[in-house]
Structure formats: C-alpha cells, structure tokens
A and B are shown apart, each in its own frame.
Chain A
Amino acid sequence: MENFRILNRIVMINIANNKYADVELSGNTCFVGTNNFGKTSLQRAILFFYSANSRGLGISQSQKPFEEHYFRYENSFIVYEITTEDKNFFVMAYRHNKLCFRFVDAAYNADFFFNENDEALKIGDVLKKLDKFGIYYSNQIDTFERYRNIIYGTETDKNLTKFHLLKGNEKYQNIPKSITNVFLSSKASIDSRFIKDFIANSLSNENSSIKLEQVERQLRQFNEKYTDIETYLKKETQQLIELIDKKFDQVKMLKGSQFELAEKLGSSLKYAEVQNEAIREASKAKEEALEILVSDFNALKGNSEEKQKDIREEIGYYDRTIREANKKLKDYKEKNIEEAVEKNKQKEQLQVELNMARKEYETLTSNVKSIELKYSSLIEQLRNDKAAFINTTNTKTSLIFNDYNERQLLAKNEHNKKDGELKEKRERSLGDLNAEVTSKQIEFNELKSEEKVIRNTRFYENEIKLLETELAELRAVTYKNRSEKAIKSNMIQTLQKEWENTEGKLKSSLSNQLSKINNEIIKKKTEIKEIESKLSSQADAFYGYLEKNVKDWHLTIGKVCNEEILFRTDLKPAYKKELANSLYGISLELDTVSVYSKSIEEYQAEKTSRLTEIKELEDSLSQFQTSNNEEKILAADRFGKQIGELKEDVKVLTYSLELAEKREKKLMNEFEDWKQKASAETEEALKGNRQKQNIVEEELAILNKKKNNLLSDFNDQFDQLKKHHEERIVDLKSRQEKEIKEIEDEKDKTVKSFDDKEAEFTTEKESSFKSKGVDSKQIKEIDKRIKALQDETKEIDQYSQLVNDYLKDKRELFDKLPDLIQKKEDYVKTSNEMANHLEEASRKYNLKRMEINKEKRAYDEELIEFNNGINYFTKNFRETPVYNKYADIVERAEPRKTNYTVMDLCTQLLKNDSHFNEEYGAFQRYVNEFSGKFRLENHFNFIIRNDASQAEYERFAQNLMNFIHENKIELSVAETATQIGLVTDSIATKVKELSNQQDKIQHIITLIAEDFKKAEFEESKLIEFIKIKIEESDNKVYKLLKKIEEFKDEHGMFYGEGLFNTDYASGGKNKEINNRAVKLLESLRHAIKEQEQEEIRLQDLFELKFNIKEGVNETGWTHKIDSIGSTGTDILVKAIIYITLLHVFIKESSHRSSKEFKVHCIIDEVGQISAHYLRELLKFAKNRNIMMINGLPNKSGLESHYRYTYQFRREEAGNVRVFPSIVTEVEA
C-alpha cells in the first residue's frame, strides 16, 4: 500500500468502442497507439476523473457529447480506483438519464460489474452485488459539483469525507482546471497568451470575466437614453415642442369649433325640417290676423268718421247761429237798442200823460166849443191834409226807400248768391284739397306712429337676449374657471415646493451618505494599501526571510514580533542554528502566547475582507442610491403625476379660459353685430319711415300751399265780389238818399206851409178866445204839452218795431247764446276726443299691423332661409368630404334653433375645414419633424408613422403634452443620471472584481517564477533558466475599463447630477465630471464595437513575458516563443512550464495539511521529445508529486521511461482493445 493518495486505476466497461479496459495509473503512464485508436478518449476519461465536467474535455461541437459517446449503454461504467494510505476505494461513473457517481468503499473488483457470463451488469445489479458483498457505497451523486467536493475533500457529509483524493482549500477548483488546461493546451505552441489563459482559467470562476456584451448593452442603453435626452433638450427640439403645442391647441380649437358648427348645422337642418310646415302655418295665420286687423280698423275708422261728420255739422250749425246772434247783437248795439228799449218802457207813461193833457185841454175849451170846434176842424183839416201830405210823401219816400231797399236786397241776394257759389266752389276745391291733406296728414301721423313703434321695437331681440344669456353664463363659467385655475396654480406651486424640498432632502441625504461611505472606503483603501505594501515588500522584509527559511515561524517568532519589525527590510536576518529555538538565546514557553504575526494568506484574506467590505459599502451605497433614486422617482412620480394632472387641469382651464375669452369675444362681437344689426335695422326702418315722412311732409306743404293759394284766390274773388257789391249798395243808397232827400225837402217845405197855416189858425183862434175870454195861454201850454207828448210817443213808436225785433231775438237767440256756445264746445270736445280716440286706435293699429307684418316677414324670411339653407346644404355641402367628416355629428344633432343660417354654417364649415387642413398639415409636419429627431426606438416612445391617423397624431401630441406637464423629462434625466452612475459603478465593480484577481495572478507568477528557479536544470544543463514576468495589459477595452474604474475611484460614487443642462445649480464641476464620464463610456462602447471581443477575462488584465535560455540560446523577454531550440526542446519547455503551473496551482489550492497525494499531468503527443529530455521531464514532474500520462504514436523506446505502458489495438467491429505493454521502467 502506498503512503499517498493517487488515482490508481481506471476501468472502462462498455465505454465508447471499448468493451473493457483496465488501466493502472499509479505511476507515469504512456499510451502507445496510432491516431484515432482511442488514446485521447482514454486520456479524456482520466481527465474526467479530475474535472468531472463533461463540457470541458475538449470535445468539439461536431463530435458527440461526452455522455453519449462514452456511456452508450445502460451497463457502461467508468471506474476510478483511488489508492489511499490504508485501503483503496473506487468511484463509478454511469449514466442514469444523466451522468451519476457512486463511491464504493472497496478496491475495484471486476466481479462487482460482471455476471458469470462475463456480461456487464446494469447499475441496479451492481449495487445488489455490492450489497451482497456487504460493501458500503454512497448514495447516487447527481452533480459534478458534489462529486468534485468529495474528491477534493471539501464534502461535509461524514460518510463521504473519506473518499477524497486530496484535501483542497476554497480554491480547489483550480486543480481540475489546471489539469484540464494542461491537457487542452498541450498541442499549442508556447505562447504567453496560453500561459496567461492557463493561469487565468485556473483562477477564473464564472464571475471572473466581464461580459462585454452585457457592458455594451448597458452602455448602449445609457447612450441611447443620453442621446434621446440630449435630442430632447436641444433648442430646436424645444422650439418644435412649442410649435406642436401651439398648433395642437389650434387644431383642437378648430376641431372643437368644427364639431360645434357641425352640431349647429345638424340642429339647424333638423330644426328647418321640423319647423318648415309650422312656420308656413304661422305665416298664414299672421296674414289672416293682419286682414282682420285691417278690416276692423277700417270699420272703426269709417264709423268714427261718420260720427265726426255729424258732429262737425252740429258744430257748424251752432257756430253759424252764434255768429248770427253776435252779428245781430252787434247791429242792435249799433242802433242803440238799449236806449230804445228804455224809451219803449216809458211809452205807456207818456200815453197816460197825453190822455190827461187832452182831458185838461177839453175842460178848458168847453166854453168856446164852437170856436174851438171851428178852429179845431180847420186845424184838424189842415193837419189831416198835412198828415195826408206827409203820408203821401212818406209813401213816396217809403216807395223809394223800399224800391232801393229791394234793389239793395236784390243786389245783396245776387251778391250772396255769387258769394255762395264762390264759397261752394271754394269749399269744393278746399274739400278736395283738405281731403288730400287729411289723407296725407293721416299718412304722416301713421308714419309718426310707425316711427314711434320702430323706436320702441327691439330688433333681433331674441338673438340679443340669447346672446346676453349665453354671455352671462359664459362669464359665470369663466369666473369659476379662473378661480379654479388660480387654486390649481397655487396647488402646483405648493406641490412643486414640496417636491423641491423632498428632492433637496433626498439629495442631501444622498450626498451625506456618499461622503460618509466614501470616507469609509478611503479608510479601507488605506488599510488595503498598507496590506498591499506589506505583501509587496514582504519578500525583501524580515517576514519574507522567515517564510522562506523558518518553518512554523508563526508559532515562535510570530508570537513575539510585532508587524513593524516583521516588515522591516533593513534587519538583515541571518540564521543561527544554535539559537534556533530561543529568543536571543532565551528560551520561551510560547504555548499560551497568542500569535501576532499573520500569514500571507491571512493578509490576503484581510485584504480580501477589506475589499469585500468596500464592496459591501459600495453595494450599500449603491442600494442607498437606488433606494434614494427610487424615492426620488417615487416622489417624482407622485408629485410629477399630481403636478402633471394639475398642470393638465390648469392647461385645460387655461385653454377653456382662452376658449371662453375667444368665445366671449366672439359672442361680444356677435352681440355687437346683432346690436348694430338691430340699430341698422332700426335706422333702416327709420330711414324708410323718415323718407316717407319727408315725402308726405313735402306733399303736405305743397297741398297747404295749394290750399293757401286757393284760399287767397278765393279771398280775392270774395273781396272783389264784396267790393262790387258794396259799391253797388253805396250807389243805391246814395240814389235812395238823394231821392228821399228831395222828397223830404219838398215835404219839409209843404209841412212848413201847413204849419204856418196852422199857426195862423191858432192865432186866429186865440184871438177869438181872447175875444171870448178864454185863457189861451194855459190852453197853449197844455196843447204844447200834448204836442210834446205826442212827439215823444211818436218817436217811441218809430223804434217799436226794432225793439220788438230785439226783444224777440233776445228771447229766441241772445238769451240762449251761452247754451249754444256750451253745446258747440261740447261737440268740439267730443270731436276732439273722437279724433284722439281714432288717432290712438290708428297708432295701435299701426303698431299691431307692423308687428304682425314683422312677424310674418320674419316667418317668411325664416322659411326662405330654411329652404335656401336646405337647398344649399343639398347642392353644395352634402357631397363634399367635409360633410363625410362630420356626418355623424350632423346626423346625430337634435333639432334646435341656432343663431346661424344653414348656409352660413355650411360655408363656415367649408372655410374652416380648409383652414383646419392647413393648420393640421403644419401640425403633422411639426410632429413628424419632432419625432424624426429621435431614434426609431427612442425610450420616450416619440414615434409616429407617416401613415398615422389623425387620432394617432393627436394622441402623440397629447402624450407629448402630458410628458411636458408631468415633467417626465426630469424623471428620465434622473434615471439616466442614475444610470450613468450605476453603469460606471457596475463597470468599476466588475473591473475591480477582476482586478482583484490580479494579486492572485501576481502571486501565482511569483510562485511560478520561484518554482522555475527551484528547477534543478543545472544537472542537465539543458535549460539554464526560465524566467517569467508580468506587464500591464495593452488591451484597449480593458484599459478603458480600468480608466472608468479609476474615474470612479477618483470621484467616488457619483450619480450624474447635472448630467444635462437642466440642473443649472450643479455648476460646471459636475458638468465636467459628467462629460468625462460620458466620453469615457462612449469611447468604451466604440472600443468594444471595434475590438469585437465577447468578454474581458483575467488574461486580458496583464501581459506575460518569458525569457528562456537553453544552452546558448536566449529568447529575451518575449510574448511568444516560436522556437527555443529543437521541437523536443520546445515540448520539454512547454511541459516544464505546464508542470510548474500545475504544481503551483495544486500547492495553492490544496490544504496545507494535505500533502500526501499525487495527481496526473496529462500531455498528449510527446513523441518528439528525446529520451534524455523525457527523463529530465519525468524527474521534474516527480519532484512535484505529479505523474505524467503521455501519448506516443508508436513504440520508440521512450515508453521505457514510464511505469505503465499501454498499447491500443483496433479489433473486429471497430472495437479497441487496450492492453499493457511489457516494458521496464527505467527511471520514474
């Protein structure tokens, strides 16, 4: 039994083309066989033991997978037997759907797997056999990972811990990786890239690379967002947004207005259809009403005129009577009627006095009666003669008087007749004229009444009232909207302040957290630097010396030396054997003293722990930032949404207010229009009325003039007639007076002669009396008195006719005069009242007539308008695309009267549509131009297709407006700003993670270099030295990645504040940082694109250079060693390097306590190496506990250097047989 563990044997049962092969592997082994005989397959099977990774065996994709090629049957097994310090165990690999393993606590025994007929058993039967033999076997191991854990001694299951090959540490994965890498790379030429790959692959885990595709995706996403935002923030774009906003408003307004008009059109049309018959009926009713009104009025007028005529006649009668009475009264007055009446009253008195005087006279003359009688008879006779003469004369005078009076009367009658005729003529002429004047006057009065009516009529009252109502309602709504807008604006301000406060708080908390964590990170970094400086200087320091030269120094010196001393380089330590276990010669019991010194691993672990802490801190910061951002986004979402909604409301309100303002303006204009129209209508009506009035007035003036002329003509005629008449009368009177005077003169003469005779008789009588003694004096006095009385009576009698006439007139006329005047006045009053009444009735009639006419005209006009509208709509509108556009609205509208005609509405719709199309075209252009500024797949989703519908365009604009109102750009900016931080951080973290491995690489390279040094090439002098060194990577992408990491280190966790020009407060510093970050990311993106590399792996982090001296040949520091010497030399060097690498990795990856194990180094095709070199190589490997498994194409003597040699032979049916070749191991 060996005192180390090793893969002792591999047994293949029904594997690939091999039915059974049992190959021992406990020493250097070589496989001899020509190509395609299965050497490599066997080597892969061995490799599978170490790697347990069916994908990493170098099987090309064109070949069958490992599972299918190797495990074709249910009874296919690969058995790996491991030798341990005490007993062997084996592990079998088989396929149970997938590859599985079972560890068996026994040495391999073919009986376990075959039956009596040498037929391979299935796993179940194998297990039964094992059970039968009472052998422990593990549960089925289903995963490669667990298998590796068991083999490399990291399994925690106590039942399985014994089945390990070696005790690996946490890095044990490097062992299978290294073995695999050696196997897979063995055919390659010696290139530092290969070594790099080898080292890197050995150190790599799944996270040990930066997937550039992922980085590129992040960068692209960031770049796209960044570009989108930049595009959005451009001045031209903002201008376009303004234009879109403006146009969109206009388009909406126009559309709204078109909808309104379409609805009005629909309403008007339906109203017209519904109302047509009704209006026709109403018009007819009005016509009838008008006829009735006219006939009623005419009847009233006729009646009134009849009555007035009668009254006028009455007035004429009374007027004439009064006039005649007055005239008579005047005549009586002129004839001193009052005196006459007074004297007439004294007549009876005078008659009594006369009778008394006569009685007295008779009494006195009774003595001289005969004388008296004689003289009385004489006198009487004389008197009678005189009276007869007077009577005759009077008769003559009377005849003349009467004749002339008659002539005068005739003349008067003739005059009267002519006057009457003239008057009649005048009256007739005047009558015609007056009738005409009256009719004109009536017409004038009617016009006046009409004017009054017009002045009192409010034209378009309904329309104006409607507008007033609408205006009032609109103003009320506007007032409400204004208040609401003000309230919402205030709310926006408040919310914005709140938002700003929240953001401020978040910003300050983030910046506090940032500075806090950055400080901590700086602190940790300082610590790391300290550790790194210790690690880098340890080789030259006391520490390095102890590591190299003093075993377990940590348990002795490490307990009494502080770090400062350990890492000093100036101590020049030298080993003094005699003082080996003492401190300056003093022995110390240090068991209870704790160790102060730390191993390199502990320092590494410490460094790793610091790095982890930094990472944690950064993660926590990142988390904080993410949560901060989330909060920010939440706040933005919350406030933005609210503000957006409010802004939208405000906008809607503003828009409504604008609309309302426009509407108000429009309504006001309409109102003013209607008012103007009304006043124009009034003016028009008044104008017509005035014109008519003027004409009538003129006609009246003409008629009056005509009347005046006529009157003056007639007056002239009357004057002439009167003059002629008066002249004639004067002539007649003068002739009458002359003739009468002549008669009167004759009469006076004759009377005087009679009087003289009478006086003669009287004197004779007196003388007779005297002679008879009678007092003639007294008789004379009495007689004188009688005569006087007779004269007076006579005079009274003269006026008796006049007085009688007067008294009669007085009784019949003068006393009734007041009554007559009163009656006349009454009639005049009644006439006036009737005239007024008629005038009032006429005014009312005119008003009513006008009103009815107006109403009828309105109905007629409306009817005409309806018909015209319907015709216009049918002929000029219904066939247009505009109708089709609004057909739904037009058809759906309810019948309703509107302020507009159908024709106007159609025209307006057509006109507006053309305007709308223009505006919409501009709107579409702006939207296209705007969306065209962005990428096709921009993250704002500002995309519109050319064939988009109107609704889509409008939705686009609406979304854009929402975007603006909700300030989504801020969110996007915040997200992108966060993203740049996150992308930078993510890259930096990845680079850091990867870069952290650089220490490991450095460490490995150091170990390799040392191992090279340790190589005892001196013996053979074949290879003088192999040197290796590490240099900085020249990978462009990695360099940029590194720059980003440095950038991040320099600026700490940054979150892109002020990335765009939106945040002016951030100032130039942030801008500069951001610009640098953006440029770096951009360069990285380009570099990734150019380099077309999928990932940045560990090997991209550094460059390796070799310097190899073989004999006199020295390669110098180079990446690639094309040829050092012969091919054999090259293979040797390569193998040495591999073995060194393997050794280093195994040493690094296994537990310190686990030292007693050996592994295999599988290198195919070493045929060209010389025996000498091979021996050297095997020895080199042996010194490092590594057994070689090599392939040779044929037997050449080289196989004699191996402990085991197996040959491959192809048998019938293509099966391959592996059998041991009998050779002697020369040196291994």
Chain B
Amino acid sequence: MDYKLPKQTHEIFSIMARGHFISSNGTKDNMGKLYDIINNPENFDHFQEYFNIIRYKIERGNNFFYFSKLEETNSIIEKKLETFEKYIDIIDLFASMDNKITIGSRFRPSEIAEECNANVRLKQKLQKIPLYRSETLSNKVREICDLMTRDSFLEKEDEVSENYKVLDSYSYLMDMINSIAIYEEPPGSENAGGIIYN
C-alpha cells in the first residue's frame, strides 16, 4: 500500500520513537522543517495511518508533535509519570525565576546558576532537585539543561557560549504541571495530602 510518505519519514520516526518531541521552533537537525512536514495536513493523515500500523499515534501539541502508544498499559503510564516527576521540581525552579523561562527563551546555565546563587529560595529549590549529584550550582543547572536537551525540551544553540533555547515542547511539561490537582485527604487518613494527575 502506498502511503505517499515524505522522504523524512524515517528521520521523524527515529526522533519520536525515542519519546522525543518535534518542535516547530527547533533548528537543529532540521527540526523545524520536520515539524512543517508533519504539520502539513496532507502528510499528517498519511503519517497517522502509517504509524497506526505499528501502534503509534502522533499527538499534536501546541507547535510540537510526539508519539503516544495506542493502548498503553497502566504500568507504562505509571513509568512515564515517574519519569515526569523529576520535572516538577525543575519546572517549579524555572517558574520561580525572576526572568521566567518560557517557550523561546534563550539562556545560559551560568545565568540561572547566578540567579540561584543570589536568591536563597531558588538555591534551595535547585538543591532540592534530587536526581543530580553535581557539586556546584552551575554544574547542576548544566546537568538539568543537558537532561532537558536530551528529552528535547531544550536545544543547545551554541556549544561555545552554552546558549540554550526553550522549545515548544516545553508547553507539554507546563500542561502536565497545570493538570496536576493537589488535594487534601480528610484528617486521620494515612496519606494526607498528595497529587493526582488529571
């Protein structure tokens, strides 16, 4: 069967199948172009049809695309949520900065580290982020940036100046955070307080 797929299909698949996002404002590896290709209504349906065969579904975010698995098991979803949990603190840190990190923002890890250093609250937030072992604030921020770059939420625009750009996929994280509802359990229950994901 002829799906009339563009020649970049493999490239698209190899990015999204790794759980990464394709954002419209990405410049590296032709990401912006790939986004345009998927975003083209003629292609999109073909892609969807094609990837459905291998049980993948292209999900459309605000200026970004990613894969979801059709009929995902709860254990996988749980695992995804666990993966996501580490981002809660990161987003919290980013959102608490004076110069808020938003889509399209350009920054250097050193700038964030400096701000954290100058602000006790931010410093605590940064130190609280559990998954890193770096000793200096700069390295910790750098590691966060690397992680986010690996997960395709950031893009390192310049290796020398360590300039990062926030990609459109960042709104996925924001949406996730925004869909968290904090509830209070009635007093006396064992697990008072907690979060649920909408």
Residues of A within 8 A of B (CB): 227, 231, 234, 236, 921, 924-925, 927-933, 935-936, 943-948
B14 close to chain A: CB less than 8 A:
no
Q: Given contacts A231-B32, A924-B100, A946-B99, is CB(A932)–CB(B106) below 8 Å? A: yes
The residue among B63, B103, B111, B166 with the most chain A CB atoms within 10 A of its own CB is B103
**Nearest residue, chain B, Cβ from A927:** B104
Q: How far is the CB of B55 from chain A (nearest CB, A)?
A: 30
Does A932 lie within 8 Å of B101, measured CB to CB?
no
Closest to B107 in A: A946
B63 pairs with A932, CB closer than 8 A: no
CA distance A930 to B104 in the complex (A): 7
Other-chain contact of B104, A921, A932, A935 (Cβ < 8 Å): A932
Scoring B residues 136 to 179 as 1 if CB is less than 8 Å from chain A, else 0, what string do you get? Answer: 00000000000000000000011000010111100000000000
Cα A928 to Cα B170 in complex, Å, equals 13
8 A Cβ contacts from B36-57 to A? none
Neighbouring B residues of A231 by C-beta, 8 Å: 32
Pair A236/B111 contact, Cβ less than 8 Å: no
Query: What A residues does B124 contact at CB under 8 A?
Result: none
> Which chain A residue shows the least CB distance to B104?
A932
B68 at the interface (CB under 8 A from A): no
Are B102 and A929 in touch, CB under 8 angstroms? yes
Beyond A932-B166, A936-B165, A944-B106, whether A921 also contacts B100 by CB under 8 A is yes
- Find chain B residues with CB under 8 A from A933 CB: 24-25, 104
Residues of B at the A interface (CB closer than 8 Å) are: 24-25, 27, 32, 63, 99-107, 111, 157-158, 163, 165-168
A947 in contact with B111 (CB, 8 Å): yes
Closest to B158 in A: A936
Which residue of chain A is the closest to B24 with respect to CB atoms? A236
Q: How far is the CB of A884 from chain B (nearest CB, A)?
A: 15
* 6 pairs of A and B residues whose beta carbons are closest in the complex: A932-B104, A928-B104, A929-B104, A946-B107, A946-B105, A925-B102
Per the bound structure, the CA–CA distance linking A1151 and B171 in Å amounts to 76
Assess whether B25 is in contact with A946, with CB atoms less than 8 Å apart: no
In the complex, the chain B residue whose C-beta lies closest to that of A949 is B99
Which residues from A are CB-within-8-Å of B32? 227, 231
Question: What are 26 A-B pairs with beta-carbon distances under 8 A?
Answer: A227-B32, A236-B63, A921-B100, A924-B100, A924-B102, A927-B104, A928-B102, A928-B106, A929-B104, A931-B106, A932-B103, A932-B106, A932-B166, A933-B24, A936-B106, A936-B157, A936-B158, A936-B163, A936-B165, A944-B106, A945-B107, A946-B99, A946-B107, A947-B99, A947-B111, A948-B99
Contacts of A947 in B (CB 8 A): 99, 107, 111
Q: Which residues of A contact B102 (CB under 8 A)?
A: 924-925, 928-929
Nearest CB on A from B119, distance (A): 13
CA distance A1080 to B156 in the complex (A): 29
Instruction: Name which of A945, A946, A947 has the most chain B CB atoms within 10 A of its CB.
Output: A946
Inter-chain contact B27/A943, CB cutoff 8 Å: no
* Complexed CA–CA distance, A935 and B165 (Å): 10
**Among B101, B105, B157: residue with most chain A CB under 10 A:** B105
CB-nearest residue of chain B relative to A930?
B104
B105 touches A928 (CB 8 A): yes
A895 CA to B57 CA, complexed, in Å: 67
Bound together, the chains give a CA A931 to CA B166 distance in angstroms of 11
Complexed CA–CA distance, A234 and B63 (Å): 12
Task: Contact check, A932 vs B25: say whether CB atoms are below 8 A apart.
Answer: yes
Judge whether A943 and B106 touch: CB under 8 Å. Answer: yes
Query: In the assembled complex, how far is the CB of residue A673 from the closest CB belonging to chain B, in whole angstroms?
Result: 38
Given contact pairs A932-B25, A933-B25, A935-B27, a sample of 6 additional A-B residue pairs in the complex whose CB atoms are under 8 Å apart: A924-B100, A933-B24, A933-B104, A936-B157, A936-B165, A945-B107
How many Å lie between the Cα of A930 and that of B24 in the bound state?
A: 11
Contacts of A935 in B (CB 8 A): 27, 157
Instruction: Determine the chain A residues whose CB is within 8 A of the CB of B63 once the complex forms.
Output: 236
Q: Which residues of B are found within 8 Å of A929, using beta-carbon distances?
A: 25, 102-104, 168
**Residue contact B99 to A931, C-beta cutoff 8 Å:** no
Measured CA separation A929–B111 after assembly (Å): 19
The smallest beta-carbon distance between A1085 and chain B, in angstroms, is: 12
Taking the nearest CB of chain A, how far is it from the CB of B156, in angstroms? 11
- For B27, B100, B166, the residue with the greatest tally of chain A CB atoms inside 10 Å of its CB is B27
In the complex, how many angstroms separate the beta carbon of B196 from the nearest chain A beta carbon?
A: 27
- Please indicate which of the listed interface residues B25, B157, B163 has the most CB atoms of chain A within 10 Å of its own CB: B25
Task: Kindly list chain A residues whose C-beta atoms are within 8 Å of the C-beta of B168.
Answer: 929
How far does the Cβ of B4 sit from chain A's closest Cβ, in whole Å? 18
Tell me which residues across on chain A come within 8 A of B100, comparing CB atoms: 921, 924-925
A949 to chain B minimum Cβ distance, whole angstroms, is: 10
What is the distance, in angstroms, from A379's C-beta to the closest C-beta of chain B?
146
In the complex the two chains form, what is the Cα distance from A933 to B165 in whole Å?
A: 10
Contact B24 A928 (CB under 8 A): no
Q: How far is the CA of A929 from the CA of B24 in the complex (A)?
A: 11
